[in-house]
Amino acid sequence: MTQQEADVLVAHELRKTFKKVEAVRGISITVSPGERVGLLGPNGAGKTTTLLMLLGAILPDTGSVTIVGHRLPRHRSRAMESVGFAAGYLPLPDRLKVREALGVFAGWYGVRNEKQAVSEALERFEITHLADRLCNALSSGQRTLVGIVKATLHNPRLLVLDEPTASLDPDVALRVRTGLLQFCASTGAALLITSHDMREVEMLTERVIFLANGQVVANDTPAAIAATFGYDDLEGVFMQLADEARRA
Amino acid sequence: MSWHRIRVVVRRHAYVLWRAPHRWFDIGFWPLMDIILWGSLGTYVARNTTSATSGTPYLIAGIMMFHILFQSQIAVGTGFLEETWSRNLLNVLTTPVTEFEYLAGTAAFGLFKVLFALATLSITAFGFFRFELSSIGWSILPIALILTIVGWSAGIANIGIVLRFGQGAEILIWGSNFILMAFSGVFNPVDALPGALQPIARILPSTHAFNALRAVLDGNPLPGNEIALGVIGAFVMLLAGFAFTAWMLHVFRRRGFVTRFS
């Protein structure tokens, strides 16, 4: 087995230009099985574009993405069987109850026993009481929670989360972080997460990739990156990079 | 291709129909209104003409068969739009569901809508105007096949346009039906159209389906040449629809248009 086949995610030299704006300039990312990685950077750094390229929703101009040995875009469907995705800004299907919506996604992910998978996933994040609520009647925080449940239904090998706790109360956000850590530990899933909450990143991730102006500017453990930039934690690093990006 | 995922697409749209009463208008109320409108118009014209042949069956049969095309088209079109209205498109695009499976699921669900609408139309047409759909006989099957495939093709092409130009283009989902209605000779032979428009009408497979329908209503056998032209044309249109939307989806992914819908 080659290293590329062993890693759950291998993105090589991704580049993306929208009209004349270079959003992503040669980003390479590798995530190993069970590894928890943070993708950080100030607004406009290219995080979301990168994530969407990793998920096959946007095609890179150049570069390649391979998930669990399946190259995108040709083998997107096979690759997505191993990926769970949730974003704080993404709603769920209108007019479906939470249980129904999760059942639909479980079916699309190829889960055999949909009802059991949905019940277990709701219990994991302690939101069984939302099962019979309509998705469009949920608060933004509840919707985010259900979105995370959706992403974990099929025990993916790679969990991709874009700002998952942005709209959550601190206590709910803590519950989500704890649930995610338990999920990754029990299933061996790898995690790739973007967040603006540096404490969350320090709690959840073992490695951090910092982006600025569409490029990787740091790739190491949170503590090592903070030390390299001369700070005690990631907050200072983030502030410095955001300031540099604004002036660039 | 996964049949299971296709079935789940059908289930996803069944939930929406169940919970959205206004969607029943498409398959219940509008068919009812169409039969009343065209049946009454036919009856009025028949009373004021000296012709021995009443136009009423042509109008009623025409609108009934047009609903097959209409329901097939909007089931596919609004099936996709449902994902854009609820900003669910990115969720769908990041699952293993393939484009073909999603379209197949919406098309299959469209068949249910066609059957429901046909039931409404048949009952209303018989109740108000004593028109029996069974008078068309088994000929209805090849005609319905052509119209269903044309409806799917138009719906699929419309999705491509919405992917490329955004939600502002969704007006086409409904508008394209009126274009097809005008050019397909739903109620009239193609030679009743202005001369300059007749070539456009003749290349539409749906035109051949309606030509065949009128021949059957006139008491003639099902014209094989019209059906053959219609079937071949419908499959060509379906392939063209797929190819166009696949191209638009490529453009959609290349230009990052997904952010418009999320």
Q: What is the pLDDT of residues B148-163, one digit of tens each?
A: 999 999 999 999 999 8
- Boundaries of every domain in chain A: 3-247
Cβ-based contacts of A76 with chain B (< 8 Å) = 98
**Whether B96 and A77 lie within 8 Å, measured CB to CB:** yes
Asked if A51 is an interface residue toward chain B (Cβ–Cβ < 8 A), one would say no
Does residue A1 surpass a pLDDT of 70?
A: no
Q: Is the per-residue pLDDT at B147 higher than 70?
A: yes
pLDDT bin (cut points 50, 70, 90) of residue A105 is very high
Residue A147: C-alpha distances to residues A36, A129, A141, A192 (Å): 19, 15, 10, 15
Instruction: Specify which of A87-96, A211-220, B167-176 reaches the highest per-range mean pLDDT.
Output: A211-220
Per residue in A142-154, pLDDT tens?
888 899 999 999 9
- What is the model's pLDDT at position A78? 94
Q: Could you report the predicted ipTM of this complex, rounded to two decimals?
A: 0.87
Q: Yes or no: say if B232 and B153 are a contact pair by the CB < 8 Å rule.
A: no
Please give the pLDDT value at position A166: 79
Q: Average of pLDDT values for A34-56?
A: 91
% of chain A at pLDDT higher than 70: 98
pLDDT of residue B52: 56
Q: Which residue has the higher pLDDT, A31 or B135?
A: A31
Set of chain B residues whose Cβ sits within 8 Å of the Cβ of A85: 91, 94
pLDDT digits (tens, 9 = 90+) for B24-63: 888 888 889 989 998 888 888 888 776 656 678 889 899 9
User: What tokens appear for B197 in the block?
Assistant: 């428009």
Q: What is the pLDDT of residue A33?
A: 93
- The per-residue pLDDT for A4 is 54
pLDDT at A98: 95
Edge to edge, what strands does the sheet with A62-67 contain? A21-31, A9-18, A62-67, A70-71
CA separation for the pair A215, A41 (Å, rounded)? 10
Q: Which residues of B touch A50 (CB under 8 A)?
A: none
User: Which of A116, A170, A166, A125 lies closest to A148, judged by CA?
Assistant: A125
Contacts of A10 (CB under 8 A, 6+ apart): A4, A29, A30, A64, A65, A66
More confident residue, B134 or A78: A78
How would you class B181 by CB atoms within 10 Å of its CB: exposed for 0-12, middle for 13-18, buried for 19 or more?
Answer: middle
Q: Is residue A5 pLDDT above 60, yes or no?
A: no
Terminal Cα-to-Cα distance of chain A (whole angstroms):
43
- What is the SS3 assignment for chain B? CCHHHHHHHHHHHHHHHHHCHHHHHHHHHHHHHHHHHHHHHHHHHHHCCCCCCCCHHHHHHHHHHHHHHHHHHHHHHHHHHHHHHCCCHHHHHCCCCCHHHHHHHHHHHHHHHHHHHHHHHHHHHHHHHCCCHHHHHHHHHHHHHHHHHHHHHHHHHHHHHHHHHCHHHHHHHHHHHHHHHHHCCCCCCHHHCCHHHHHHHHHCHHHHHHHHHHHHHCCCCCCHHHHHHHHHHHHHHHHHHHHHHHHHHHHHHHCCHHHHHC
The pLDDT of residue A179 is 86
Could you tell me if B228 lies within 8 Å of chain A, comparing CB atoms?
Answer: no
The answer to whether A56 contacts chain B (CB < 8 Å) is yes
Distance CA A36, CA A202 (A): 11
Nearest CA-CA partner of A76 in B102, B162, B232: B102
C-alpha A122/C-alpha A129 separation (Å) is 9
**What is the mean pLDDT of the segment spanning B66-91?**
88
Q: What is the mean pLDDT of chain B?
A: 89
What's the pLDDT at A56?
93
What is the average per-residue pLDDT within B205-212? Answer: 95
Out of A82-86, A118-122, B135-139, B193-197, which region has the weakest mean confidence (pLDDT)? Answer: B135-139
pLDDT for B85 equals: 86
The pLDDT of residue B180 is above 80: yes
Interface A-B: count of C-beta contacts within 8 A: 101
pLDDT per position as a tens digit, A9-39:
999 999 999 988 899 999 999 999 999 999 9
Greater confidence (B133 vs A130) lies with A130
Interface test with B, best of A22, A62, A104 (most B CBs within 10 A): A104
Tokens (6 digits) for A148: 């995370």
pLDDT at site A30: 95
As a residue count, chain A comes to 248
Q: Does B14 touch chain A (CB under 8 A)?
A: no
Determine the CATH number of domain A3-247.
Answer: 3.40.50.300
Residues of chain B above pLDDT 70, percent: 98
